[in-house]
Amino acid sequence: MDLESRLELVKGVGEEIITENELRELLSTKLHPVAYDGFEPSGLAHLPFGVFRPLLLKELTKAGIHFKLWLADSFGWINNKMGGDMNRIRKVGEYFIEVWKSAGVDEKKVEFLWASDAFSDKEYWKKVILIAKKTTISRANRALTIMGRKEGELQEVAQYFYPMMQTADAFHLNVDICQLGLDQRRSGMLAREVAEKMKWKKPVVVSHHMLMGLEGVKQPEGYEENKALDIEISSKMSKSRPQTSIFVHDSKEEIHKKINSAFCPEKVIEGNPVLEYSKHLVFRKFKSMKIERDKKFGGDLDFDNYQELEKMFREGKLHPADLKNSVAFYIDQMVDPIRKHFEKDRKAKKLYEFVKKQEITR
pLDDT tens across 10-42, in order?
999 999 999 999 999 999 999 999 999 999 898
**Has residue 273 got a pLDDT over 70?**
yes
d(CA 44, CA 360): 9
Q: Report the Cα 319 to chain-centroid distance in Å.
A: 29
DSSP letter for 152, please: G
The segment(s) of the chain belonging to CATH 1.10.240.10 are: 239-356
> Among residues of the chain, what percentage have pLDDT more than 70?
93
The number of residues making up the chain comes to 362
Report the CATH number of the 3-208 domain: 3.40.50.620
Per-residue pLDDT, 129: 93
Highest mean pLDDT among 35-49, 63-77, 325-339: 325-339
The string of pLDDT tens digits covering residues 224-266 is 566 777 787 778 898 878 888 999 999 999 999 999 999 999 9
Among 22-36, 74-88, 122-136, the range with the most confident prediction by mean pLDDT is 22-36
CATH code 3.40.50.620 region(s) in the chain: 3-208
**Is 70 exceeded by the pLDDT of residue 223?**
no
210 vs 232, which has greater pLDDT? 210
Predicted confidence band of residue 202 (pLDDT cuts 50, 70, 90): very high
The share of the chain scoring above pLDDT 90, in percent, equals: 70
What is the structure's pLDDT at 247?
96
pLDDT tens column, 136-164: 877 777 766 655 555 556 567 777 788 88
Q: Distance from CA of residue 122 to its chain's centroid?
A: 30
Q: Following CA atoms 213, 216, 220, 224 in sequence, which dihedral angle do they give, to the nearest 10 degrees? A: 90
- Band the pLDDT of 222: cuts 50, 70, 90: low
147: alpha, beta or left? (left if phi > 0; alpha if psi -120 to 50): alpha
Fold of 239-356: Tyrosyl-Transfer RNA Synthetase (1.10.240)
Q: What's the whole-number mean pLDDT along residues 37-52?
A: 93
**Residues near 211 by beta carbon (within 8 Å), at least 6 away in sequence:** 47, 48, 52, 236, 237, 273, 276, 277, 280, 281
Give the pLDDT score at 201: 96
Please name the residues in contact with 191: beta carbons below 8 A apart, sequence gap of 6 or more. 167, 170, 171, 178, 202, 203, 205
